[in-house]
Structure 1
Amino acid sequence: MACAPAALAGCSLGSSDQHSILHRHSLVIGVKGDQPGLGLLVNGHYQGFDVDVATYVATRLGVPASRITFRTTPSSVREKAIEDGTVDMVVATYSITPARKTQVTFAGPYYVAHQDTLVRTSDRSITSVHDLARKKICAVKGSNSWRRITDERSIPAVPVDVATYSDCMPLLMNGRIDAFSTDDLILAGFAAGHPDVHLIGAPFTDEKYGIGMRKGDLAGCEAVNRILTGMYQDGSAGRFLDHWFADTGAKLTTSVPQFEGCS
């Protein structure tokens, strides 16, 4: 099978696995549909940093934009969607964790975010993660963010369960929760244009965003890592970040992240 010029780096590895993302005519990519600046479905079209990264990777694997299908993939179903073939890969603020690596092969990270906290501008009682004790916080199904507070740091915050990240903003705005804590890029996207909320600017984790694919697709993973390196070296990553977050106040990193290694 002949390989497109853009995909030569991946072709050198070869792959006989029918589930590999290499040498595909088309790709179905899982993204978020409710995260401004990252993955947002607007009038039938997906847009955001994750969408730009996914498109960059796919085109360099030899799959043009016209043969990419984006599919909304909430946090709660990412592993299942990969395992059952609903999507070929996931680019959806998908933090690499030891537990997830037992089910999914991750390329990247393509960006390292940091968990921070969004509060109402009028609330001056929360200036660090420790101030979330006995405060109501948003707990998105399938996300680890709230557990990094209650479980990892043993801070007795009060989780309020919701299905998706977009459910958190109205709860914060109307006072039903006190804080919305997750990755700073996610929060920056939601906070854009809302002067009545602000990031406290007290990050406390590294969130390594990976590109999830079928467990064991090492050739595909290694090819994607080379593509991601090129994305930073040619300035595309910086342009994507500036386009979506330059006016949000988020502290952006435009150097190549240290990759986790494929496994």
Structure 2
Amino acid sequence: MRIFRGAAAAAALAAAAGSAAACGLGAGEESVARKESLVIGVKADQPGLGLRAKDGTYAGFDVDVARYVAGRLGVPPGRVTFRTTPSSIREKALADGDVDLIFATYSITARRKEAVTFGGPYYVPHQDTLVREDDSSIRNVRDLKGKRLCEVAGSNSWRRVVEEREIAATRVKAPTYSACMDLLAARRIDAVSTDDLILAGFAAGRQVKIINAPFTDEKYGVGIRKGDLEGCETVNRAITRMYQDGTAARLLTKWFKESGLKLATSVPQFEGCS
């Protein structure tokens, strides 16, 4: 069932549509708030967040949040299609209309906001670092100086280390964080640094450890086509409801209870739609 109802619904939708049009949705482009079906971009190789099974189904926190938000937008599970969307193509996938929304550990940054309208954030994790279990030489981000650090295409995490903190790590490129884990196991890199939820998913069952020295806040946003303010505002209301009705806490517990991370269960501070 749609979030808006009655006269108040009509007024709210009219106002939102007007602001969206002013911001530049192109002729014939429909807000995600009005779509009868949705294609949602997610990750396929991140345990606990977005993982594609052999039968083609997807599972994880991001996937469950996406289903919840879609439901609040009036789109039932049978009309939701998930599509693998790696970090390197997220902006293009939205711009080309290949996906309607993206729930894929998509950190909100000023640079990305030039091309994408972001709903949320729907969660705020923290960047940390994962190393091999037998490595005691890396205790905090500064210890990455001179170490081989995984650089994932399309991700900002390595920039937080090398550019923002000016730590002279040696960057080793990889297409995905799953590939980073293979490089770490093969001792071709020394560390993987990214959001703690991503690291927690990969750490399970491997001979690795998170050093528990977080150094940033990362705001997981919902990627929406640039200019769709109506869709953004509707998504934000859905996220607010998700925290208020206890769904967010339940999903975080479901996927990350065993991680040892301190999980936030209050509504994140929204960025604002632009």
Identify the match of residue 141 of structure 1 among 131, 142, 153: 153
- 1:49-198 counterparts in 2 under 5 A? 49-194=61-206, 196-198=207-209
- Alignment identity in percent? 64
Paired with 2:259 and 2:57, the residues of 1 have a C-alpha distance of 22
- Equivalent in 242, 247, 260 of residue 271 of structure 2: 260
Q: 1:165-202 deviations in whole A, cap 9, x for unaligned? A: 110111111211000100000000000122x1010000
CA-CA distance at 1:248 after TM superposition? 1.5
Structure 1 unmatched ranges of 5 or more: none
Contiguous gaps of at least 5 residues in structure 2: none
Compute the TM-score of the two structures, normalised by the length of structure 2.
0.92
- State the Cα distance separating 1:20 from its structure 2 match: 1.0
2:255 matched residue in structure 1:
244
Structure 2 CA distance for aligned equivalents of residues 30 and 99 of structure 1: 20
Question: What is residue 59 of structure 2 aligned with on the other side?
Answer: 47
CA distance, structure 2, for counterparts of residue 231 and residue 130 of structure 1: 37
| Structure 2 Cα separation of the partners of residues 135 and 223 of structure 1 | 44
Shift of 1:151: 0.5
Letter in 2 for 1:6: R
AA partner of residue 36 (structure 2):
H
> What's the offset of the Cα at 1:6?
3.4
Which residue identity does 1:118 align to in structure 2?
Answer: L
Residue aligned with 1:139, SS:
strand
Per-residue deviation, residues 82-101 of structure 1 (Å, max 9, x unmatched): 00100001110000000000
Deviations 1:199-239 (A, max 9, x none): 00000011000001011100110111111000001110011
Q: Residue 137 of structure 2 aligns to a residue in which SS?
A: coil
| SS of equivalent residue, structure 1 residue 40 | strand
In 1: Cα distance, 2:227 partner to 2:185 partner: 43
- Counterpart contact for 1:28–1:68, Cα < 8 Å: yes
Distance 1:38 1:143 in 2: 16
Task: Give the RMSD, CA atoms, in angstroms.
Answer: 1.3
Three-state SS of the structure 2 residue aligned to 1:130 is helix
SS at 1:247 equivalent: helix
Question: Which residue number in structure 1 is paired with residue 32 of structure 2?
Answer: 21
* Distance of 1:261 and 1:7 partners within structure 2: 19
Distance in 2 between residues matched to 1:148 and 1:13, nearest whole Å: 39
What residue number does 2:2 align with?
6
Q: Distance in 1 between matches of 2:53 and 2:258?
A: 20
Which of the two has greater helix per residue? 2
Alpha-carbon distance between aligned partners in 1 of 2:261 and 2:188, rounded to the nearest angstrom:
25
Is this contact kept in 2: 1:19–1:214, CA < 8 A? no
